[in-house]
Amino acid sequence: MKLLFEKRKASSVPALILVPFVSFLVSLVLTALLLEIFGANPFKTFAAMAVGAFGSSHGFAETLVKAIPLMMTGLGVAIAFRLRFWNIGAEGQLTMGGVAAAGVALFMERFLPGRSLLVGALLGGLLAGALWAGVPALLKTSLKVDETLVTLMMNYIAILYSEFLYYGPWRDPKGYGFPGSRMFSADAWLPRIMGRAHIGIWIAVALAIILWIVLKRTRWGFELQVIGASQRAARYQGIAVERNIVLAVMLSGALCGLAGAFEVTGISHRLQQGLSIGYGYTAIIVAWMSQLNPLAVPFVAIALAALAVGGDQVQMVMGLPAAMGVVMQGLILFPMLAGSLFTEYRLSVVRPESKASCPDPVEE
């Protein structure tokens, strides 16, 4: 008897839905083992995490605060990944978005009266993210330069540039050496709905729905799907592959840039240290767990945000490192990757007696 993987004709829908859930459970079990090793009670720890993330209106608001940038960057990464463009530069695009939004909010007050300052700041962030992603996209389509490395290196450059600004020319002269710019005028603040959570959550959810419609129901979405499946096939159909990749990757960067603009106008109200805390990397987990489907992104983003907030809580209550949440996030991807085999392949059992009646060329 022998086990064989047969390629399915179409992806299995139950597997598409089951795999993320099972992966989440597996990561819970692995984390529990880890907690046991380090002498912490897993059930108490998980309970503390859940209470921290959802148990109070403050906790839930903080979960949303972290979920908003994860939704935006998760959507951005998902679009790029659908094209097999491995954009791991969401972190840098988010940072540049925050920098540009802060630039508008700090220095354009005179030209943008009233609430138009906020709109200007958000547009600035969007544009900066798109341009920052446009560079690796152009390098990829014109010179075939590896995009994973360029997008990643540009993260470091963006973060160092933002550091230069808030330690240097943009530093608040009345800030007593605090690494940050002065506070924006209230016109540039994004309205809040609950605790620190702001209306960005509604914009993010709306964008997820719009993107799903664009990808599934429009001609452009269809073209992107063909490019993602096979660039050669797309060329035969007369689709402008290079132009579409650049446009889609710039859209990906725009979403990440907007995430950064939300962070500075909605949360910190200034450019300061801590704008870039790894959302752009967690976004990769969000996108992959969502199976690159925009509609799934908000749910996964909230789940991963809860792990992060719960991780902070565990640090305060049980003295465990906050990195616990990050470890759990990382552990989810492994079962997820292993499980995706079952969406594309079917496991079949080949019995020796079947060999005679139905010769299998693969049998050894």
Partner 1 sequence: MDFLTSVLTITIRAGTSLTIATIGEILTERSGILNLGVEGIMLMGALSAFATVFYTHSIALGFLVAIGIGGLLALLHAFLTTTMRANQVVSGLSITLFGTGFSSFLGQRLGPASNNFRLVGLRAERIAPLAPDWAEKIPILGAFLNQDIMTYAVYLLIPIAWFFLYKTRPGLWLRSVGEDPQTADAMGIDVIKTRYFYTIIGGMLIALGGAHLSLSYTPGWSENITGGRGWIVIALVIFSMWNPARAVWGALLFGGINAVQFRLQASGTSIPASFLNMLPYAGTIIVLVVMTWWEALSKRVGAPAALGTSYMREDK
| Cα 22 to chain centroid, rounded | 21
Question: For residue 189, what is the DSSP state?
Answer: P
**Pick from 75, 184, 28, 164: which is nearest to 120 by CA?**
184
d(CA 260, CA 99): 8
3-state secondary structure of 212: helix
Q: Is there binding between residue 143 and partner 1 (CB under 8 A)? A: yes
Q: How far is the CB of 150 from partner 1 (least distance, A)?
A: 6
| Cα 249 to chain centroid, rounded | 14
Q: Is there binding between residue 354 and partner 1 (CB under 8 A)? A: no
Cα atoms in the 13 Å half-sphere on the side-chain side of 8: 14
Type and span of the H or E element at 286: helix 279-289
Q: How far is the CB of 251 from partner 1 (least distance, A)?
A: 20
Q: Is there binding between residue 32 and partner 1 (CB under 8 A)? A: no
Q: Is there binding between residue 231 and partner 1 (CB under 8 A)? A: no
Q: Is there binding between residue 152 and partner 1 (CB under 8 A)? A: yes
Q: Is there binding between residue 183 and partner 1 (CB under 8 A)? A: no
Q: Kindly state the tokens that stand for 215.
A: 């990808």
3-state secondary structure of 195: coil
Q: Is there binding between residue 350 and partner 1 (CB under 8 A)? A: no
Q: Is there binding between residue 316 and partner 1 (CB under 8 A)? A: no
Residue type (1 letter), 223: E
Q: How far is the CB of 126 from partner 1 (least distance, A)?
A: 24
Out of 323, 347, 354, 355, the only residue in the binding site for partner 1 (CB under 8 A) is: 323
Q: What is the DSSP string of 137-152?
A: HHHHHHH---HHHHHH
Q: Is there binding between residue 167 and partner 1 (CB under 8 A)? A: yes
Q: Is there binding between residue 5 and partner 1 (CB under 8 A)? A: yes
Q: Which of residues 261-300 bind partner 1 (CB under 8 A)?
A: 281-282, 284-285, 288
Cα atoms in the 13 Å half-sphere on the side-chain side of 193: 12
Out of 46, 108, 163, 295, the only residue in the binding site for partner 1 (CB under 8 A) is: 163
- With respect to partner 1, which residue has the nearer C-beta, 17 or 153? 153
Q: Is there binding between residue 326 and partner 1 (CB under 8 A)? A: yes
Q: Is there binding between residue 168 and partner 1 (CB under 8 A)? A: yes
Q: Which of residues 81-120 bind partner 1 (CB under 8 A)?
A: 86, 88
Q: Is there binding between residue 330 and partner 1 (CB under 8 A)? A: yes
- With respect to partner 1, which residue has the nearer C-beta, 45 or 265? 45
**Pick from 230, 241, 211, 253: which is nearest to 77 by CA?**
253
Main-chain dihedrals φ then ψ at residue 20, nearest 5 degrees: -60, -40
Q: Kindly state the tokens that stand for 140.
A: 């990829």
Contact segment (CB under 8 A) with partner 1 among 4-12, 15-23, 59-67, 193-201 equals 4-12
Contact 245, 151 (CB under 8 A): no
- Residue ranges in contact with partner 1 by CB under 8 A: 4-7, 38, 86, 88, 139, 143-146, 148-150, 152-154, 156-157, 160-161, 163-164, 167-168, 281-282, 284-285, 288, 320-321, 323-324, 326-327, 329-331, 333-334, 337-338, 340-341, 344-345, 362
